[in-house]
Amino acid sequence: MTDSVSKNMFAVYITSVVPAGLTYVFWLIAANQTGPEIIGIVVALGSFSMVLTSFAGFEISIGMKRFLGIAHAEKKYSEFKQIVFVSSIFVIFSTVLILFVALNPFLNILEIVGIDSKFAPIIITIVVGNGLVNIFVNALISGLRSNSLVIPYLVSSFGRFPILFVLFYFVEQTETSIAWAYSSHYIILAILTMIITGIFLRKSTGNVFENFLKHLKMILHGSLPKYIPQIAASLQTQFGILTIFAIKGPVETGVYYISFAIFAIISMIPSAINGVGHPILSGMDELERGKFLRRTLKIGFLLTMPIAVIATFYSEPILGIFGEDFSVSTDIILILLVSLPMGIIMDGCYYYLYAKGNYKKILYLGFAKHISVIILYFILVPEYGGVGAAISYVIGSMLQLGLTLVLIKNANLNLEYKKYFIISIIPFGIAIIVDNLQFEIISSILIVIISFVIYAKLKMFDEKDLESGLRIIVSNDKVEPTKIKILNVLKKLHIM
In SS3 terms, the chain reads as CCHHHHHHHHHHHHHHHHHHHHHHHHHHHHHHHCCHHHHHHHHHHHHHHHHHHHHHHCCHHHHHHHHHHHHHHCCCHHHHHHHHHHHHHHHHHHHHHHHHHHCCCCCCHHHHHCCCHHHHHHHHHHHHHHHHHHHHHHHHHHCCCHHHHHHHHHHHHHHHHHHHHHHHHHCCCCHHHHHHHHHHHHHHHHHHHHHHHHHHHCCCCCCCCCCHHHHHHHHHHHHHHHHHHHHHHHHHHHHHHHHHHHHCCHHHHHHHHHHHHHHHHHHHHHHHHHHHHHHHHHCCCHHHHHHHHHHHHHHHHHHHHHHHHHHHHCHHHHHHCCCHHHHHHHHHHHHHHCCHHHHHHHHHHHHHHHHCCCHHHHHHHHHHHHHHHHHHHHHHHHHHCHHHHHHHHHHHHHHHHHHHHHHHHHCCCCCCHHHHHHHHHHHHHHHHHHHHHCCHHHHHHHHHHHHHHHHHHCCCCCHHHHHHHHHHHCCHHHHHHHHHHHHHHHHHCCCC
Closest CA to 135 of 93, 89, 76, 77: 89
Alpha-carbon distance of 475 to 470, in angstroms, equals 8
> What radius of gyration, in Å, describes the C-alpha atoms of the chain?
22
Residue 245 has pLDDT above 80, yes or no: yes
CA geometry: angle 401, 405, 408, nearest 5 deg: 135
pLDDT category at 145 given cuts 50, 70, 90 is confident
Q: Taking a C-beta distance cutoff of 8 angstroms, is the pair 452, 493 a contact?
A: no
pLDDT at 496 over 80: no
**What is the C-alpha to C-alpha distance for residues 263 and 311, in angstroms, rounded to an integer?**
9
Higher-pLDDT residue of 426 and 11 is: 426
pLDDT band for position 155 (50/70/90)? very high
Highest mean pLDDT among 182-191, 251-260, 321-330, 463-472: 182-191
Interatomic CA distance for residues 183 and 27, integer angstroms? 13
The whole-model pTM stands at 0.76
In the chain, the largest separation of any two C-alpha atoms, in whole Å, equals: 74
Residue that wins the pLDDT comparison between 444 and 483: 444
Q: What's the confidence (pLDDT) of residue 12?
A: 63
Backbone angles phi and psi of 339, in degrees to 5: -85, -5
Q: For 166-180, how does the pLDDT look when each residue is reduced to its tens digit (9 = 90+)?
A: 998 888 878 899 999
Q: Cα–Cα distance between 87 and 57 in angstroms, integer?
A: 10
Tell me the average pLDDT across 36-53.
90
pLDDT higher than threshold 80 for residue 5: no
Rounded to the nearest integer, the mean pLDDT of the chain is 84
What pLDDT, on the 0 to 100 scale, is given for residue 340?
Answer: 93
- Flag whether pLDDT at 165 surpasses 90: yes
> Does position 279 have pLDDT exceeding 80, yes or no?
no
The answer to whether 129 touches 154, Cβ cutoff 8 Å, is no
pLDDT band at residue 97, thresholds of 50, 70 and 90? Answer: very high
User: Phi, psi at residue 303, to the nearest 5°?
Assistant: -85, -20
Task: Give the residue-averaged pLDDT of 277-295.
Answer: 73
Q: What is the pLDDT of residue 166?
A: 93
Res. 308: pLDDT tops 90: yes
pLDDT in tens, 187-233: 999 999 999 999 988 877 777 788 888 888 888 887 776 677 777 77
Contacts (Cβ under 8 Å, ≥6 apart) of 338: 394
Position 181 confidence tier, pLDDT thresholds 50, 70, 90? very high
pLDDT at 2 over 60: no
pLDDT at 9 over 70: no
Q: What is the pLDDT of residue 470?
A: 63
Confidence of residue 473 (pLDDT cuts 50, 70, 90): low
pLDDT score for 179: 94
Amino acid type, 385: G
pLDDT band at 23 (very low <50, low <70, confident <90, very high): confident
